[in-house]
Copies of this chain bind each other. A is one copy, B any other.
Amino acid sequence: MKKINTAPISGMQELLPEDQAVFNTLKSTIAKTYHSHGFLNIETPIIDRAEILFAKAGGDTEKQVYKVVKTAEASEGSDQALRFDHTVPLARYVVEHENNLNFPFKVTQIGRNFRGERPQKGRFRELYQCDIDVIGRNNLPLAYDADTISTLLETFQNFNLKTPVVARISNRKILSGLIEAFNLEDKSKDIYSIIDHSEKVPLEKTKGNFAEIGLSQANTAMFIDFINISGSRQNTIKKLQNLNIKNNLWLAGLAELDEVLSLLESQGQASNISADMKIVRGLDYYTGTVFEFNLPEYKEIGSVCGGGRYENLASYFTDQVLPGVGGSIGLSRLFYVLKEHNLLNIQTGPSIEYSIIPISSNEYPYAFKVADALRKNGHSTTVILLDKKLGDKLSYAAKISQNGIVIGETEAINHSLTAKNFTTGEKVNLNLNA
């Protein structure tokens, strides 16, 4: 009988061991792919100074950030809170350790962030985020935008999902240039927001939204046409050029988008990328390339990865200009939706390969030798040390492991071993140096 409510707090991820193993497989695929592309792992503290975390944050962030009460023994210093993303602590880290880092600094952070949001299905208050960023000092070549996107794409490809993923890419200079060309700078924020939401609402609603902020019918039609431009690099660039917009920002955006897409094509990703003028990314601080990954066969899932180029990582903390490009996989949500839609190609079942089942404690010494030999060959192995009947031991072993090896007197003397696969029933003779 329970004496107390033992459920985790709502919005916290807590998995059974089998699901945790699948989650860990995704997490380690991410870490391995990031590292294979030259990104260096760092970890920043989970608790940080409130003045750092709130340096830039607006009211909405403050509503979701967990503040921490300093303890009686650690009461010194400024107010403290839990980090809500990896970007703000990264900005602090890069400024703090600038003289010990090599720029461009290709960096990855994988860990939990904390957002006290209203409870919603598939949203988490403790959320694993898996970020990569490339930070330059004073400048950073555009080619790193493609480097970032290709690293993230390859990560998804290494997941080996049952459905394809596509990177949808745009450049915020294009839309900003378009807004400039039509002298709509005063409505810029609204236009960004309407386009950002356009996929989630019917076309008529988007038209209405444009009208509501005072756009003429002609301009509304123009923006509707604009945001429907998407597809391959060549087609998209051609369609955009055909709009014949005379604006330097627009032209710069087009050239950058063309280059990023070209670089991705030369990395063999042509069929996995799409230019798409609907992609703007909500966050204010992106200034060039923006991207979002989707599963085209599962549009309802929405974005599974996103990021972009920013002019300055840490303007609140330093005068040094630190341009960067980055992206993030929200792993807690991703794992949740992939599982819900059955899109994971990962075999479930016990993660332990072998149970060694000594019939009595007389066989323990030999059982330990066998386990040791299997482990040295890279096989996870547990020895069943229960004072129970063989049948009970076998039924426990079948639940926790893939194969069982029974060791009785004969086996301990003859060193003859048979491993039985609990799923298929198949038996294999083992020849171990034990």
Contacts and interface: CB of A to CB of B under 8 A. Distances in A.
Interface in A1-60: 1-17, 20-21, 24, 35-38, 40-49, 51-52, 55
A318 interface: yes
A399 interface: yes
Contact of A71 (B116, B385, B399): B116
A125 to B, nearest CB: 6
A69 B71 contact: no
A198 interface: no
Contacts of A372: 267-268
A24 B27 CA distance: 14
A64 B73 contact: yes
Nearest to A361: B143
Contacts of A76: 10, 119
Contacts of A104: 386
Contacts of A52: 4, 6
Interface stretch (A106-114, A187-195, A292-300, A341-349): A106-114
Nearest to A125: B74
B41 A380 contact: no
Interface string A240-255: 0000000000000000
Given A47-B12, A77-B9, A266-B365, A380 B102 contact: no
Interface in A57-116: 63-74, 76-77, 80, 82, 92-93, 95-97, 100-102, 104, 106-107, 112, 114, 116
Nearest to A108: B17
Contacts of A258: none
A169 interface: no
A8 B96 contact: yes
Given A267-B368, A382-B38, A17 B73 contact: no
A40 B365 CA distance: 24
Contacts of A318: 1-3, 6
Contacts of A49: 5, 9
Contact of A102 (B10, B65, B396): B396
Given A35-B380, A92-B6, A386-B104, A67 B69 contact: yes
Given A6-B52, A8-B96, A141-B386, 13 more contacts: A2-B95, A6-B95, A9-B77, A17-B40, A17-B42, A17-B101, A46-B126, A64-B71, A67-B68, A70-B116, A74-B125, A106-B400, A263-B368
- In order of increasing CB-CB distance, the 8 nearest A-B pairs are A38-B382, A71-B116, A74-B116, A12-B45, A143-B385, A17-B40, A266-B365, A6-B96
13 contacts: A4-B55, A6-B93, A8-B44, A8-B96, A38-B400, A63-B72, A67-B68, A71-B116, A72-B116, A104-B386, A106-B382, A263-B364, A267-B368
